[in-house]
Structure 1
Amino acid sequence: MEDKMTRPAEGFETWLFDLDNTLYPASADLFAQIDLRMKAYIGRLLGLPPEEAFRLQKHYYHTYGTSLRGLMDEHAIDPADFLAFVHDIDHTVLAADPVLGGLLARLPGRKIVFTNGSTRHALAVLDRLGITDHFEAIHDIAASGFIPKPQPACYDDLIARYGLDPATTIMVEDSHKNLQPAAALGMTTLLVRNTLHWAAVEDGGAPMAYCHHVTDDLRIWLADWLAHQAPHPEVCLD
């Protein structure tokens, strides 16, 4: 599928990357493990059968932005306990990605992971991919005061904490609804589209106007962006 571009991809001072299904392909199916753990946690907490726990999990996601936020507001759970349980998964399904690492190394400016997950989970993912050293910081759900994307307050907090200029910031995400507040603040947005993760097919899977760039492969998009910058050696994606 051809990439969509509605805004010139010019130089950026800061790159904000979502983690799950963004820095690694959705085909790794890592999030499916997290989904199962969330369903198990809710079922155990509320004494629900799996089908009802799954329904409630998705209801909280759509209503509050994350299942965690819904559980905090509706059931006063300990977020640390929830995050430790749902991120106790097998990260070895991820393999090192030296191509992505090489591309990240050549991107100018700061690089920050902006995730609704935990720092522990983010570090496990980045370490498996071999790209940890390319990031200045991980801004996780705890750093956001457990206010998840796409609630505007966590974007404001991120900007203030790192002194970001939205006009020179690009945000990369697999969930289009998380890009809407970023675009409203003046950031450039890149949607990494996939059809495997259930959240990616909302609204029929159609990219919204606030998704300035859309790609099916982050590595290809980054290589193409670099190819249009200052002269540099060719990128090999094989």
Structure 2
Amino acid sequence: MLPELSHIRNWIFDLDNTLYPVSANLFAMIDARIGEYVRALLNCSPEEAHRIQKGYFHAHGTTLSGLMAEHGVDPHHYLADVHDIDMSVLDRNEALIEALARLPGRKLVFTNGDAPYAAKVLDKLGLAETFEAIHDVHATQYRPKPDPLAYQGLCEAYGLDPAQSLFVEDMARNLKPAKAIGMTTVWIDNGSEQAPDHDRSFIDYTVTDLGAWLHAILED
């Protein structure tokens, strides 16, 4: 293990666009279904639905949180609907599978999606048996990343010491609260729209290929 990471005991990973490449375009399908859900719920135009969807995302962390707060939407119904997508675009990444298997310590998924969806994705990726647990939006009591309480709840639920934990994410904004409580942070720079602004003080490592990076720190 790379000496500066030898203290890490807990490896925490985001799911979407982190454990699979952004080129899979899975989230675009989810995004489209979210827009359609909002349009049908509010009986508005697609353009207005998109505006509301993105407004809730930025104001509440997820569109779901906004819909729950403003319209009393049932989260289970919503998540089952928007995650009903074709996952055939996902492929196994043998290098990533091998690297994750070699990591010492505990491995968890921390997602703003729900566990049933995450389990399907992990199965398609060949990672169904890799992770100890999936900490999802239900477990956060619908206070999703980057709400600091989501990170506190994760650590309390699994007895994690943040100082011994590393968190990998493609959305830079979700790394800031992790760094604030002492986690080591890894940003997946994959060309998504969630790139950091000029402040990168909360990002410890920037990587483009997660599997290659994990192999590199293990072989150093």
Pairwise same-fold verdict (TM > 0.5):
yes
8 A contact 1:207–1:214 mirrored in 2: no
| Alpha-carbon distance in 2 for matches of 1:122, 1:139 | 10
Structure 2 residue runs without a partner (length 5+): none
> 2:83 corresponds to which residue?
87
Structure 1 segments, 4+ long, off by >3 Å, are: 7-11
Secondary structure, aligned partner of 1:91 = coil
| Alpha-carbon distance in 2 for matches of 1:75, 1:82 | 12
Indicate whether 1:201 and 2:195 are aligned: yes
Of the three residues 111, 114, 119, the one matched with 1:118 is 114
> 2:176 corresponds to which residue?
180
Give the AA of the match of 1:210.
Answer: F
Indicate whether 1:213 and 2:212 are aligned: no
Secondary structure, aligned partner of 1:214 = strand
Mapping of 1:1-238 within 5 angstroms?
8-195=4-191, 197-198=192-193, 200-201=194-195, 203=197, 208-228=200-220
8 A contact 2:137–2:144 mirrored in 1: yes
8 A contact 2:172–2:195 mirrored in 1: no
8 A contact 1:192–1:216 mirrored in 2: yes
8 A contact 1:144–1:157 mirrored in 2: yes
Identity of aligned residues (%): 49
| Alpha-carbon distance in 2 for matches of 1:164, 1:142 | 19
| Alpha-carbon distance in 2 for matches of 1:71, 1:129 | 30
Structure 1 residue runs without a partner (length 5+): 1-6, 229-238
TM-score (norm 1): 0.89
8 A contact 1:91–1:125 mirrored in 2: yes
| Alpha-carbon distance in 2 for matches of 1:227, 1:53 | 48
CA shift for structure 1 position 9:
3.2
Give the AA of the match of 1:213.
Answer: Y
CA shift for structure 1 position 8:
3.5
CA shift for structure 1 position 207:
6.3
| Alpha-carbon distance in 1 for matches of 2:27, 2:94 | 22
| Alpha-carbon distance in 2 for matches of 1:177, 1:96 | 28
| Alpha-carbon distance in 2 for matches of 1:20, 1:161 | 22
| Alpha-carbon distance in 2 for matches of 1:41, 1:55 | 13
Secondary structure, aligned partner of 1:93 = coil
| Alpha-carbon distance in 2 for matches of 1:121, 1:35 | 14
| Alpha-carbon distance in 1 for matches of 2:165, 2:199 | 20
CA shift for structure 1 position 11:
3.4
Aligned pair count reads 218
Give the AA of the match of 2:178.
Answer: A
8 A contact 2:95–2:212 mirrored in 1: no
Question: Given the superposition, is the C-alpha separation of residues 202 and 75 from structure 1 closer, same or farther in structure 2, using an over 3 Å criterion?
Answer: farther
8 A contact 1:176–1:207 mirrored in 2: no
Secondary structure, aligned partner of 1:20 = coil
| Alpha-carbon distance in 1 for matches of 2:6, 2:53 | 39
CA shift for structure 1 position 227:
1.1
CA shift for structure 1 position 217:
1.0
8 A contact 2:18–2:169 mirrored in 1: yes
